[in-house]
């Protein structure tokens, strides 16, 4: 497992009973996590620090409860990258800190290429990978169907001091955008995708991971440059093994060189040997 151990502004303080106690800068949050099936708290007294808690409803969804008034948004820093955090519906904060392992990997690949690199970031959300690749010196095309998420990504790019870097922000259905890029003859050296388990595009297009992921990887092979650098798939879809992602890439990309790999990513708990599994990845790299 690849574990994101280099955070200073984020940490898990404890985990138990389906919940994790986290510190985001100087804000303490309790959020649910389905992987935490044990009941034993390691540090019961730390839970009193919580400023807000997200609780699921028995009828679906859930809501935040607050012990104190939180700022509308605040920032956390990962190395030289700065992100804007806001409590959202369905427990999210706008950032997945475990993805830092992938940011570091992409930054190293781009900096080590010693050439101009173009990256396509699909289902790009609030732009964690966009910020990382831009910071490393790549030009980035950021695609997401949500206008609000793209606006948030622009904030993150600007907060990290990268507003003048070449980033294209596209609000569109991912499949349709890639099809148009193929027709236009545009090519990319790196492709990142973080597809949801289920979603709808801006015109109601339906995305279902199990039904659509192989077709998307196949489609994206048509926008890879002649000298590609990397291809990364992230997933949080329940029941899918990381090896499945690697298998799909092997079947659809047909790379004659480079290597395929796959695995889990996770977050450590402070003052503990416990690690929270947070998602899977499949990679190809030259």
Looking at the fold, whether 122 and 186 belong to one and the same domain comes out as: yes
Give the pLDDT confidence score for residue 50 in this predicted structure: 97
Looking at the fold, whether 17 and 115 belong to one and the same domain comes out as: no
What is the H or E stretch that residue 134 is in?
A: helix 128-136
Domain final residue, candidates 58, 85, 112: 85
CA atoms of 33 and 98, how far apart (whole Å): 14
Looking at the fold, whether 74 and 163 belong to one and the same domain comes out as: no
Residue 21 near residue 13 (C-beta atoms within 8 A): yes
**30: pLDDT strictly greater than 80:** yes
CA atoms of 80 and 161, how far apart (whole Å): 9
Measured in whole angstroms, the distance separating CA 34 from the mean position of its chain's CA atoms is 18
Mean pLDDT on 146-157: 97
Looking at the fold, whether 154 and 119 belong to one and the same domain comes out as: yes
Give the pLDDT confidence score for residue 130 in this predicted structure: 98
Provide, rounded to the nearest whole percent, the portion of the chain with pLDDT above 70.
99
In-domain check, residue 168: yes
- pTM, full prediction: 0.94
**226: pLDDT strictly greater than 70:** yes
Domain final residue, candidates 85, 108, 125: 85
Looking at the fold, whether 72 and 195 belong to one and the same domain comes out as: no
- Give 164-216 pLDDT, tens digit per residue: 999 999 999 999 999 999 999 999 999 999 999 988 766 777 888 999 999 99
In-domain check, residue 239: yes
Residue 136 near residue 208 (C-beta atoms within 8 A): no
The CB density around residue 130, as the number of other CB atoms within 10 Å, is 31
- Give 56-114 pLDDT, tens digit per residue: 887 778 999 999 999 999 999 999 999 999 999 889 999 999 999 999 999 999 999 99
Q: Which sign does the torsion angle of CA 279, 84, 109, 3 carry?
A: negative
Task: Give every CB contact of residue 168 below 8 A, 6+ residues apart in sequence.
Answer: 140, 141, 142
Residue 159 CA: distances (Å) to CA of 35, 83, 84, 122, 156: 32, 7, 8, 21, 5
Crossing angle (nearest 10°) for helices 174-184 and 209-220:
10
Give the pLDDT confidence score for residue 85 in this predicted structure: 97
Domain range holding 252?
A: 97-285
Mean pLDDT on 222-239: 96
Domain final residue, candidates 85, 115, 144: 85
SS3 148: helix
Question: Domain total for the chain?
Answer: 2
In-domain check, residue 91: no
Looking at the fold, whether 252 and 211 belong to one and the same domain comes out as: yes
- Give 44-55 pLDDT, tens digit per residue: 999 999 999 999
């Amino acid at each position: 497992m690849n574990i994101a151990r280099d955070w200073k502004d984020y940490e898990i303080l404890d985990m138990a009973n389906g919940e994790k106690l986290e510190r985001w800068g100087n804000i303490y949050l309790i959020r649910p996590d389905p992987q935490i099936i044990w009941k034993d708290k390691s540090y019961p007294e730390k839970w009193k620090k919580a400023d807000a808690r997200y609780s699921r409803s028995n009828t679906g969804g859930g809501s935040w409860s607050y012990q104190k008034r939180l700022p509308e948004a605040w920032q956390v820093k990962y190395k030289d990258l700065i992100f804007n955090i806001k409590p959202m519906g369905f427990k999210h904060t706008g950032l997945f800190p475990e993805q830092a392992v992938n940011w570091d990997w992409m930054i190293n690949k781009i900096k080590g290429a010693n050439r101009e690199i173009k990256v396509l970031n699909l289902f790009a959300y609030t732009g964690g990978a966009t910020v990382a690749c831009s910071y490393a010196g790549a030009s980035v095309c950021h695609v997401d169907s949500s206008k609000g998420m793209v606006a948030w990504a622009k904030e993150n790019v600007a907060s990290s001091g990268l507003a003048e870097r070449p980033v294209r922000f596209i609000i569109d259905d991912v499949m349709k955008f890639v099809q148009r890029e193929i027709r236009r003859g545009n090519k990319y050296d790196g492709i990142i995708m973080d597809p949801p388990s289920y979603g709808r595009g801006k015109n109601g297009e339906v995305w279902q991971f199990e039904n659509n992921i192989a077709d998307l990887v196949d489609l994206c092979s048509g926008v890879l440059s002649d000298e590609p650098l990397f291809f990364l798939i992230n997933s949080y879809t329940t029941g899918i093994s990381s090896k499945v992602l690697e298998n799909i890439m092997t079947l659809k990309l047909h790379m004659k060189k480079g290597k395929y790999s796959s695995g889990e990513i996770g977050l450590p708990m402070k003052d503990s040997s416990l690690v929270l599994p947070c998602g899977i990845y499949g990679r190809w790299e030259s």
